[in-house]
Structures are given as structure tokens and as C-alpha cells.
Amino acid sequence: MNPEPNNILPFQTPTDGVLQTAQVVSISDKGIIISISGIELTTKVAFSCLVQPLVGDIVLWTPSETEGNYILAIASRPDSQDMALTFPGNTTLHSTEGSINILSKQSVTLAAGKKLTCLAEKTVHKSQQTLIDYEKVTAKGSNLDASFNNIRLFSDMLNTMAKQVMMKAKNYFRHTEDYDEIKAKQMTRSAKGVYSVDSKYTVMVSKKDTKIDGERIHMG
């Protein structure tokens, strides 16, 4: 009987400090499974590797004697170029002197589970179409300048309170289907042309004096 060959060694993972490439074969809650030379190993993602690995990725990994194997970076993604940056905890993007720009050819989405805060000395929003949908809005400021070609407001109830209101329009039309009431301490109406009142019934009540002055008065 021939003796067993002595030139066959069992597979061993590289020692600490060795950087190798492998392919991701599966991802689960227990870890990320990579394949190297036909052997599958369970790995973790290094803290500095912000790109979340996907199945099929070619990754750079290194072993550790105390904490297992770590994926350090994504070398290539043959099937797609989609990428997700994953942060394990609170994250701050800070530029001490310069600017931070986020550019996208298609769309940018900002989503927060609880609160979204925007603070700036000057804010510019410019788009061809804007949709704003709020459950409750509270707006405060010193001055408001708005310029629109057309304004349409739809509301079940509209309440406006101001110390002084000034309106100027070339033509002003108001239509009330049921009831229209105006209360004022004093009221003045001035028309350069014709002032016309048309109603089925007209009632004018004065507690003291009623004065009608004109060159000609036609009644009846």
C-alpha cells in the first residue's frame, strides 16, 4: 500500500495583514459570506467601508485573529453601478472652509424619520414645478414679497387677521353664494364712475341722519 502523499496541505486563511480579493456570495444578519478559492468565509464590514456590499461584488478583505475577517473596500461591482452609503451611527458632513455640493442628474431625495432642519443665512429654491403638502404650517417673518401670474386658493375655511390690509387691483371680482357680511366702525366707498347697487330688496337704516346729495335724484 502506497504511503499518503506529503505535499497536500489543508486550506488555511491568510495571516494578519494579508489583503486579498474575494467575491460576495450571500448576505444575511449573521454576516457577509465571501468565496475565496472555493472556500466560503463569514466576514464583517470594516467601520471605514461606507459602501454597503452586494452579492457579486469583488471585495478587498483581510483576516484578524481576534475579531474575524473584515471587508475593507469594494474593488468592483460587475453587475451594477448602484451604490448605498451606510453609516452605523450619527453622521456629520463638515466642511470647515469650503462648500458641500450634492449633484444628481435625475433626482435627490431627503427623508427623515422624525425631523428635518434647514438653517442658512439665505435659502434659494428654484424649480419648474413644486408640490407642498403639509398637515400643519406655521410661518413667521418680517416681510413677504410674492409675485405670481395666477393664484388659486381652495379651502374649507380661510381666516385672515392683520392690523392693516391694503389691496390694489385693476379689476376686482368677488362672488358669494350664500351670505356676505361686512362690519366696520366707519366705511367709505369712492367711485370715479358709476356706483351701482342691484338687489331684489334694499334696506337702509340710520339711527340718526340719512343724506343723499346729488344734482339730480331719480327714484321710482
Domain boundaries, the chain: 20-76
| 185 pLDDT higher than 80 | yes
List pLDDT tens digits, range 66-122.
Answer: 778 899 999 999 888 888 888 888 888 899 999 999 999 999 999 999 999 999 999
Q: What three-state secondary structure class fits 191?
A: coil
CATH topology of domain 20-76: OB fold (Dihydrolipoamide Acetyltransferase, E2P) (2.40.50)
Contact between residue 48 and residue 91 where contact means Cβ atoms under 8 Å apart: no
Contact between residue 84 and residue 51 where contact means Cβ atoms under 8 Å apart: yes
- Mean pLDDT over each residue of the chain, to the nearest integer: 86
Q: Is residue 15 very low, low, confident or very high in pLDDT (cuts 50, 70, 90)?
A: very low
> For position 2, what pLDDT does the model report?
52
Rg value, the chain, Cα: 38
Cell numbers describing residue 166? 391694503
d(Cα 64, Cα 15) in Å, to the nearest integer? Answer: 8
> DSSP letter string over 116-136?
-----SS-----S------S-
| 8 pLDDT higher than 70 | no
Cell numbers describing residue 103? 449633484
| 205 pLDDT higher than 60 | yes
